[in-house]
Structure 1
């Protein structure tokens, strides 16, 4: 049942009223015993709660943080700047290039996943006060999913901080950094869907001695958050 429903959401999306998730229809397509289905899920709302979790579990990139192409971009930047990263100044140059190269790509990559679209749709409905069937249960599910994602991203930032010779400022943690950057990406993504020209255009900006580079606005915002919340390790 969940496999068939995930395939359907992949093809059609998840509608807020769950009109395309009818248990009787899914039972027919899945070819499973009706009595068993209703013993596990007494109604559609209970089924959708499990479906939301299944959608995220079916998307390995969400649980992993960055998608593989973004991780490859990050590795390429660090390899290309291996010599420069021997000095604090060089590590800052490499950090800027890593943020510049990966943020715009990762933002687009994340937005194209079904799991992320479902998360944004459901969280927006819950935040707006709209009546979402099974809303409180869905809220709990989303909170658990986001917490898992934040912890995974915190692990990524711990590794990046070590590589770039950085540490979190007193009173802040990598989890705080992950939450702040997720909020930036979410907000930028919302505005980009409304007006792609407002967010998607490149800006030629010099943020360091390496000179002007083409920066996505989201990358500039993430770089600002990253540098505000971290500091260089003492020599």
Structure 2
């Protein structure tokens, strides 16, 4: 992921000089102003935050070669001497940056997808009366997935943070064997576990709200289903640049017994097919006015999407 050998002179601390840095700010009186001394920890945090922002704006692609160490120092607003004290070689910094990226801790990745949550809430509230018919419960789940899957796909497709996260997954195997590769793999595994667990929890809550249950004969739990659905959407995101129809194609269909046809996208059909193949109406659940009111309140509060 990182470039090989650092350029000549870039891997050693700069020579000390009695002159102030050329980029030092000066007050109106013309006297040089001393840069506030930061702790090593503050320097590290600023450098990593600046580099993360640069990577997320530009994307990771298959390397970090497009990220300049000097640009990171400048954007972080820290002294070069403090940076080289913390990372004597620039490759050590880029190793730490890779591990930070692998954590998937940016709000765009670790947080709930608001577009998908809004889409699901709207669909459920508009068609709440479908719950009184066991046959239409599956159709309602299909409609919720039709909207949320497209929102999820579009978020992944448009987000530099998600593109970087996917690129890191796809290319970390190119790292040489050793501690760095092990650390990146551990960070990716931990981040993935958290993401899939959160998605599985949302699926389970919506399933219960809609009076559905897992098909006993399938044996798969919500974590497995969430992993499969996520993998499908990510695969379509990776295909989209060379197959634009994945993102743009729409077709009228009614695959899950809704009263009318609706416009489906490939991501929506794929995700709904994966998820609903594992679900069925729960024969022990009946919806009366009181239960419908309880479900409405839960949806309006967004209970199903809370961590």
Report TM bin, short chain. Answer: 0.7 to 0.9
Aligned to 1:204: 252
Match 1:192 to one of 226, 233, 240: 240
| Distance (Å, rounded) in 2 between the aligned partners of 1:10 and 1:199 | 22
Q: Secondary structure at the match of 2:233?
A: helix
SS of aligned partner of 2:277: helix
CA contact (8 A) 1:205 1:215 kept: yes
Q: State the 1:97 CA deviation.
A: 1.3
Q: CA deviation at 1:112?
A: 1.7
Q: Does 1:63 align with 2:110?
A: yes
Distance 1:74 1:132 in 2: 43
1:150/1:179 contact within 8 Å kept: yes
Give the unaligned 5+ runs of structure 1: none
User: Corresponding residue for 1:77?
Assistant: 123
Over 3 Å counting, the alpha-carbon distance change for 1:218 and 1:17 in structure 2 is closer
Q: State the match for 1:19 in structure 2.
A: 65
Alignment of 1:96-175 (within 5 A): 96-126=142-172, 129-131=173-175, 134-170=180-216, 171-175=219-223
Cα distance in 2, alignment partners of residues 17 and 70 from structure 1: 31
When the two structures are aligned, how many residues end up with a matched partner? 230
Could you say if the C-alpha distance between residues 226 and 194 of structure 1 is closer, same or farther in structure 2, counting changes exceeding 3 Å? same
Distance in structure 2 (CA, Å) of the matches to 1:115 and 1:16:
14
**1:39, CA displacement in angstroms?**
5.7
**What displacement does 1:71 show?**
0.8
Q: Whose radius of gyration is greater, 1 or 2?
A: 2
Q: Say if 2:226 is the partner of 1:178.
A: yes
Give how far 1:160 is off.
1.0
- TM-score normalised over the length of structure 1: 0.86
Question: What is aligned with 2:267?
Answer: 218
| 1:232 has 2:281 as partner | yes
Q: Which runs of 5+ in 2 are unaligned?
A: 1-46, 285-307
Going by fraction, where is helix more abundant, 1 or 2? 1
TM value normalised by structure 2: 0.67
Displacement of 1:178? 0.6
Which is further off, 6-15 or 113-122?
6-15
CA distance in 1, matches of 2:54, 2:191: 21
Contact 2:142 2:272 in 1 (8 A): yes
Calculate the aligned-residue CA RMSD, in Å. 2.4
